[in-house]
Amino acid sequence: MAEPRRIVVTAALPYANGKIHLGHLVEYLQVDFWTRFQKMRGHECLYICADDTHGTPIMVRARQEGRSPEDLIAQSLEEHQQDFHDFLIEFDHYGSTHSEENKTLVSEIFNTVKEKGHIRSKLIEQLYCEHDKMFLPDRFVKGTCPRCGSTEQYGDSCDKCSATYSPMELKDAQCSLCGTKPTIKSSEHLLFQLQHFQDFLKEWVPQHTQPEIARKMSEWLEQDLREWDISRDEPYFGFKIPGYDDKYFYVWVDAPVGYISSTWQWCQKKGKKLEDYWQHKKAEIFHCIGKDIVYFHALFWPALLSESRFKTPSAIWVHGMLTINGEKMSKSKGTFISARTYLNHLSPEHLRYYYACKLSSSIDDLDLNLEDFTQRVNSDLIGKITNLGSRGAQLLSKKMDGVLGTPSAEGLDLIRYAQKQSETIAAHYEARDFSKAINEIRAIADKANKYFDEKAPWKTLESHPQETKEIISTILNIFRILSIYLKPILPHYVSRVEKLFGESNYSWYHVAQTLENVRLNEYEHLSSRIDPVKVKAILEETKKT
């Protein structure tokens, strides 16, 4: 075995102002698959995440609900963690950006870049609501598009013609909270000089992102980069900027720092050193994000880190968005499905399996076709894979003595074939091409089912008991191998398989073993078919909520 790797993997931090939905889970599940796989291979691999808790939307919602922002984000933290737990997502640490560790680190990074001359101040004119006593972010202004004349458009872009503009260009502008016409007010802002990092980013981005993302980022990098406004005026829920009484860090400054501060919290809990993960030359750091937030992660974040004491990420993995039945998630069609609504009706492992069938390392969108979802789980996971274990185990336990025998030469050839796919499947996991891994697993299952059907051991129980046991022992060994390959995707399912064979905590290298003369434990139900009625119930519940 190679020397164990030391890896930190992060998923984008979910915002504390909303519920986890099936679109979010595209990201959190694929990172869960990858980190579980790395641990099975013997590597130290930390899955780090946190709630993103700051910003105007949190402050405004808390005010509307008559409670403190701290109370709101505490509730969100509890709900998010429960949803992730119930989807079997195994974080090594799940924190919050509203922590002392995060406050310390964001202030440290700010002071460093300021001392190095990368921050300047400037008076900026903004829309201000006299009624709500606050400067209005783009999404808190509504009005008429200055390009096409569409009404009810936000202050940064038009949904109808896709034009982008500043909030002050919007016609008939109103505060979206109270409807008041805003005034124009000037305020001092702090600007990070992103253009200072143009040459660094031109070299860094192609080396650390997928080719499609590097090409997209080159469109920005071929032009002069603009400075980045990193401050917000009070009232604001966030961290105050050192040296200012009325200025706060923009949420996109302290949110990515949450990757480091959450790792730090894990280190404190485990008696480890943060520098061994965020500074050590052999440590690997990966960020998995949606393509809608690439700009922040591929430009601002590495620029900030390059001037700090911390490493820039080894790579940024960008994935596509979720569509359902080929369309964007829709509340009116009942397809804007929350994690909790799904869990009210179906097993989390069904969705985990289906996402694995569809996920690759590309930035293409992933479509959750509900008919295909039902058919794929029922025919493949249940009909092909689980069928081997359930029929084989019950034949051996109920019709014979329940003890695995020695496979025949033909059976051993089939087992060896399944074992030899180990490194091919591992390479697909490593590359995050989970759909290719599933294809290999399914191909093994197809061969095993063909062998099972041709040999028909249920017909030879009395006439040829020894040969029958050889066949069943072959099938159960292959089922065990398939389960090991599926463990990163179906952890609870495979824990029941471990119990069946009297084993525990499969590593990837358990594949090389062939079981003989082992008494099976009682067979536990592994998985059920999806009832289409339950899928319809999910859509109906979503429409209601």
**pLDDT tens figures, 383-398:** 999 999 999 999 999 9
The pair of structure tokens assigned to 87 is 């989807």
- Pairing verdict, β 183-192 and 228-229: antiparallel
Distance CA 145, CA 7 (A): 47
Average pLDDT over residues 318-338: 93
Judgement on whether residues 500 and 440 belong to the same structural domain of the protein: yes
- 3-class state of residue 143 by DSSP: strand
Residue range 77-82: mean pLDDT, rounded: 98
Among all chains, which residue has been given the structure tokens 């009810």? 152
- Token output for 118: 């990368």
Mean pLDDT (whole number) for 87-116? 98
Whether residue 192 is contained in a domain is answered as no
293, 319, 345 — which closes off a domain?
319
327: Cβ contacts below 8 Å, ≥ 6 apart: 333, 335
Reduced to 3 states (helix: H, G, I; strand: E, B; else coil), residue 298 is helix
Report residue 369 CA to chain centroid gap: 20
Q: Span 61-77, mean pLDDT?
A: 96
Is residue 336 within 8 A of residue 308, CB to CB? The reply is no
pLDDT tens for residues 243-259? 999 999 999 999 999 99
Structure tokens, 306: 């390059």
Of 271, 293, 319, which residue is a domain's last? 319
Claim to verify: residue 304 and residue 422 sit in the same structural domain: no
CA distance 497 to 512: 17
Residue 120 has pLDDT above 80, yes or no: yes
Asked whether residue 1 carries a pLDDT value surpassing 70, the answer given is no
3-state secondary structure of 235: coil
Strand arrangement, sheet containing 171-175 = 153-154, 141-144, 171-175
Neighbours of 227 (CB within 10 A): 17
The set of residues, in sequence order, having a beta carbon less than 8 Å from that of 268 and lying 6+ positions away, is: none
Considering the domain architecture, whether residues 313 and 368 belong to the same structural domain is answered as: no
Q: What span, in angstroms and rounded, lies between the C-alpha atoms of 56 and 75?
A: 18
Helix residue ranges, H only, 5-152: 22-40, 56-64, 69-86, 100-115
Q: What are phi and psi of 162, to 5 degrees?
A: 70, 15
Work out the number of other CB atoms within 10 angstroms of the CB of residue 162.
10
Task: Give the three-class secondary structure for 158.
Answer: coil
Sign, CA dihedral 383-387-391-394, equals: negative
Cis amide linkage into residue 235, ω under 30° from 0: yes
The answer to whether residue 329 sits within a structural domain is no
Question: What confidence tens digit (pLDDT) does each residue in 270-308 have?
Answer: 999 999 999 999 999 999 999 999 999 999 999 999 999
280: its two tokens: 């050590």
User: What is the per-residue pLDDT for 545?
Assistant: 82
List CB contacts of 544: < 8 A, sequence separation 6 or more: none
Q: What are the pLDDT digits (tens) for 255-269?
A: 999 999 999 999 999
* Domain count across the chain: 2
Is 239 inside any structural domain? no
pTM: 0.95
CATH of the domain at 412: 1.10.730.10
Alpha helices in 329-408 (DSSP H): 339-343, 348-358, 370-376, 387-394
Contact assessment for residue 44 and residue 7, using Cβ atoms and an 8 Å cutoff: yes
Residues 308 and 438 in one domain: no
Residue the block writes with tokens 């949450």: 258
- Exposed, middle or buried: residue 343 (CB in 10 Å: 0-12, 13-18, 19+)? middle
pLDDT at 115 over 70: yes
Are 429 and 37 in contact by the 8 Å Cβ rule? The answer is yes
Q: Do 315 and 377 fall within a single domain?
A: no
Instruction: Tell me phi and psi for residue 161, to 5 degrees.
Output: -110, 0
Are residues 315 and 361 both part of a single domain? Answer: no
In a domain, residue 168? The reply is: no
CATH number for the domain harbouring residue 265: 3.40.50.620
pLDDT > 80? residue 162: no
Amino acid at 405: G
Q: Binning pLDDT at 50, 70 and 90, where does residue 454 land?
A: very high
Same domain, 380 and 490: yes
Residue 2 has pLDDT above 80, yes or no: no
Angstrom distance (rounded) from CA 503 to CA 493: 14
With a CB cutoff of 8 Å and minimum separation 6, the contacts of 528 are 347, 382
Res 77 pLDDT > 70: yes
User: What does the chain come to in residues?
Assistant: 545
Q: Which tens digit of pLDDT belongs to each residue from 190-226?
A: 999 999 999 999 999 999 999 999 999 999 999 999 9
Q: Which domain range does residue 91 map to?
A: 1-120+197-226+252-319
Assess whether 500 and 386 both reside in one domain: yes
| Same domain, yes or no: 107 and 202 | yes
> Looking at residue 138, what is its pLDDT?
84
Percent of the chain exceeding pLDDT 90 equals 93
Residue 178 resides in a domain = no
Has residue 222 been placed in a domain? yes
Helices (H) and strands (E) in the chain, counts: 20, 17
Report the mean per-residue pLDDT for the chain. Answer: 96
Beta-carbon count within 10 A of 178 CB: 11
- The answer on pLDDT for 353 being more than 70 is yes
Quick check: 426 pLDDT over 90? yes
**Is residue 424 assigned to a domain?**
yes
Q: Are 339 and 25 in contact (CB under 8 A)?
A: yes
The answer to the question of residue 232 being in a domain is: no
210 and 79 belong to one structural domain: yes
Give yes or no: residues 210 and 273 share one domain. yes
Same-domain pairing of 213 and 315:
yes
